[in-house]
Amino acid sequence: MVSVLGPARILTQPSINPSFHASLNSEPYIVRSTYLTPGLLVLLISGIVVLPVLQHFDQEWTVWLHEQGSHKLGIWMGRTMFEGKLPGASDPPVLFLLASFILYFRSWSSQASQGLIRWRPFLGFIVTTALAGSLGAVHSLKWVIGRARPYEVWGQNWPFSEWYEFGPHFINEGIYRGSFPSGHSAVILSLLTLSYIWFNGGSNRPRARSLAISWGVIVIILTVMMGIGRAISASHWLTDSLGMILPTWAVLHLLFFHLLKLPVQLEYFRSSPSLTDLPRFWELKFCGLCLPILLGMMFIIFGFRSVRFQETPWLLSMVLIGVLLVSFFWPRMKSFYSQVFQIIHGNPETENVRTK
């Protein structure tokens, strides 16, 4: 099997294998796009178990780390040059994501090299993971949960709340006020995308998979260190960081195998290397259609949260806005997603969806 990470071929015209579209619907390809479903279940179930277990030691262990840990480590883990400070631990992953965005846009250019075009599915995966992680898994939860940070609970008498409870913060106080979940830990964990890419697209399969597993272990260790550092600086509870490793990993796994279906994309790419039939920047367009749905769900939660606290009951009207947003954009998102993968599967009814 030819690897997508191997030497680039110079093609004047895409060569389509006539039997490819029929074979995509065969059992091997269907199994390949879903064969790690048990892995997804393991991540989800483990995440559901770890959070409640860690919850019992959340305050005690966070206090101990804050009192006994190295505060230099805590400062280094939290600072970033993007806030006008010295470089910190989260800067390399942020630079990696920024470079991935630049390369993603470049890969859709007419001047893009064949080698860069071969990376287009992987770059789309990294970009989608970054957007899903920063907006879907981090900021949306920060805004709707509003959990107080340790230094606020200990030094400013803010009430403590568990990770699953509505906290005292509200979005108008600032987009970074919520403690749950940790954005720094999520950024570090985004490096795990490289493990998925190397494991499934390496030219030397045994060597690439060994590299992928080793890199994955390193990323998990770095994420744990970030969680410990954020607890030392009293910026996060352990459930904000360590407790979210497995759920965030599950989202990444879901994106690769079940939503973006990278194994299926790669088979399509091997038969149509230029991917000229796909809409330009389709992953970004898909994320753009998902964003109003996410906002709608947040509006719904904000509305019911206002009833829970009885402070701003007029915000209950946001439920209606949220329902309208979800109702309007959900079918459009599904339609666009279906069109993209109908093109990949060779459905002639989607010939009107072309690169523009």
Q: Looking at residue 175, what is its pLDDT?
A: 61
Q: How confident is the model at residue 312 (pLDDT cuts 50, 70, 90)?
A: low
Q: Looking at residue 105, what is its pLDDT?
A: 95
Q: Token pair of 322, please? A: 């949220």
Question: In percent, how much of the chain has pLDDT > 90?
Answer: 50
- Rounded to the nearest integer, the mean pLDDT of the chain is 82
Res. 244: pLDDT tops 80: yes
For residue 217, give the amino acid letter.
V
For residue 299, give the amino acid letter.
F
Question: In percent, how much of the chain has pLDDT > 70?
Answer: 81
Q: Name residues whose C-beta falls within 8 Å of residue 129's C-beta, 6 or more positions apart in sequence.
A: 190, 193, 251, 252, 255
Q: Token pair of 99, please? A: 């470079």
Which whole-number Å values give the CA distances from 337 to 35, 116, 322, 330, 343, in the listed order?
21, 24, 22, 11, 10
Report which of 160, 110, 108, 101 is spatially closest to residue 128, judged by C-alpha positions.
Answer: 101
51 sits in which H/E element: helix 37-55
Q: Token pair of 200, please? A: 């499934």
Res. 195: pLDDT tops 70: yes
Q: Looking at residue 311, what is its pLDDT?
A: 63
Rg (CA), the chain: 22
For residue 350, give the amino acid letter.
T
Centroid of chain to Cα 28? 27
Report which of 49, 53, 54 is spatially closest to residue 228, judged by C-alpha positions.
Answer: 54
Q: How far apart are the first and last CA of the chain?
A: 32
Digit-coded pLDDT (tens) for 83-95: 888 899 999 999 9
Q: How confident is the model at residue 132 (pLDDT cuts 50, 70, 90)?
A: confident
**What string of DSSP letters covers 88-138?**
-TTHHHHHHHHHHHHHHHHHTSTT--HHHHHTHHHHHHHHHHHHIIIIIII
- Domain residue ranges in the chain: 36-274, 276-356
